[in-house]
Amino acid sequence: MLSVKKIFFIISFALFTLPLAAQEALDLTSCLKYALRNSPKIKSEALAQRKETEEQKEKTGKFLPQIDAYVDFNQYFNDLPTYIFPQAEGSNLAGQPITGPYPVPLGLPYNLNTGFNISQTIFDANFIGLKSKYRKFDEYHGIKMEIAGDELLYQTAQLFYQIAINKERLDYFDMNLERLAKLQSVVKLQVDQGFAKQTDYQKLIVKTSNLKSKRNKLEAGIRKQISYFKILIGYPQNEALELRFDVDETLILSAALPDSLDQLPETKLLSKQRELNQLNTKRLNANYLPKLKAYAGFLFQAQRESFNFFSSGYDWYNIHQWGIRLDVPIMKGFEKKSYNEISKIVDEQLVFGLEQKEVQIKVEYQSAVEELDAARAELAAQKENLDLAEKIYKQSELGYNQGTILLIDFLDSEAMLRESKMMYATALLDTRLAELKVLKATGGIRKLVNM
């Protein structure tokens, strides 16, 4: 019978040797969703917005009930405060006629005052303006978050396809190196049998070495891109990231601008800034309206010959009051006029900025569409070149195997094929990046999340 120790060892060994579950590769849509949830840029923007929201809420605090408690102790270590009475009252206090004012020291050396004050704003037009501004402020932050998310999606998709195309290029290098390795074996055998020159074999070695060097540089560049990609989407650097690419999939879902440019995030942001400026103007003007406030105060006072405030047998004197205060602004120079003039200038700036933004959007859209058309035409041309280069390579390979063409001609066809593949990969990347620009210009970049 197996002992407990042996059973434990067998189970532990079995668990240790179980193969780890393969990590699921992330496609473009998965990366975009992951970025929206985990990107440091989005988290930082959310924290900044929370901070600004709390700062706005802080301004309403002064309109809520205010309660302040206080304790005030003082000691007159020399003379007591002196009060000056007129001659008539001074004669009465002195019990005999005097000449001139009559000084009288009043109070005791040790004094303690404690209490608390309560105040509540009853009417202040600023409060109404702030509540309206907070609602607009939340909408403004929502638009800013939308813009930050769109920019993140655009950058993520850009880098995703750059990595994808570089992976394709890396595959091309590996394919060519594999072909050259086989060719080296054949040429080496021909050299040994006297059917080929030693220089032919040496040329292959040099060509392979140069190709490996380019391949290694490209691989190092891909590693850097993946590291930055992890930072961009908030993926842990110490975890492996598997990406699944489909670079042949067309991205364009809608290539037209919306009927109203007011629906685009950039224009909505400027419009919301204009609304906030108008509300801020109203709030500043509210400073010149009457303000009504209620207040109450509770004072507990003690005066002693020595520091014995808490000894029994001594009185405390209480003073309580309440009241209502009305403040009516009458004249504050010309600051109200200056505030309104500044507000008008800011409004004109925002209107002008909105007009320029619409022009910019249309220009960027037109440029993106033209860039996409050119990229698609280039992609079609490079596809034809690639097909032709593959045909030439196969013919050259057959001719070299049959001994009808020289090795140098065969290597030229191999170099032509590799160059054509690289050009096709570049054209494919340019097409995908142009599609992303069109999607961003039309406000449709978020459609990639639902592909």
- Beta-ladder partners of 105: 82
Rounded Cα gap, residues 401 and 407, in angstroms: 10
Q: Into how many domains does the chain fold?
A: 1
Tell me what pLDDT residue 252 has. Answer: 55
Question: For residue 4, is it within any domain?
Answer: no
Residue 2 located in a structural domain = no
Give the contacts of 451 (CB within 8 A, at least 6 positions apart). Answer: 28, 29, 249, 251, 253
Q: Please report whether residue 264 resides in a domain.
A: yes
pLDDT for 55 equals 82
Q: What pLDDT, on the 0 to 100 scale, is given for residue 23? A: 58
pLDDT at 12: 38
Q: Is residue 301 part of a domain?
A: no
Provide DSSP, 76-105.
-SSPPPEEEE-HHHHHHHHTS--SS-EEEE
Q: Along the chain (451 residues), what's the average pLDDT of each consecutive run of 10 residues?
A: 39 37 75 93 89 81 90 88 86 82 88 94 82 80 90 93 91 88 85 83 89 94 95 92 75 64 87 88 83 94 87 86 92 78 90 91 91 92 93 88 82 88 91 90 85 66
Has residue 13 been placed in a domain?
no
Residue 149 belongs to domain spanning:
21-64+124-289+329-450
Is 109 domain-assigned?
no
337 CB-near residues (< 8 Å, 6+ apart): none
**193 domain residue, yes or no:** yes
163 part of a folded domain: yes
pLDDT digits (tens, 9 = 90+) for 39-51: 999 999 889 888 8
Q: Encode pLDDT of 349-395 as tens digits.
A: 999 999 999 899 899 999 999 999 999 999 999 999 999 999 998 99
- The pLDDT assigned to 8 comes to 37
pLDDT, residue 134, reads 78
CATH number at residue 277: 1.20.1600.10
Helices 335-402 and 265-286: crossing angle, nearest 10°?
A: 170
Integer Cα distance of 189 and 195 in angstroms:
9
3-state secondary structure 245-293: CCCCCCCCCCCCCCCCHHHCHHHHHHHHHHHHHHHHHHHHHHCCCCEEE
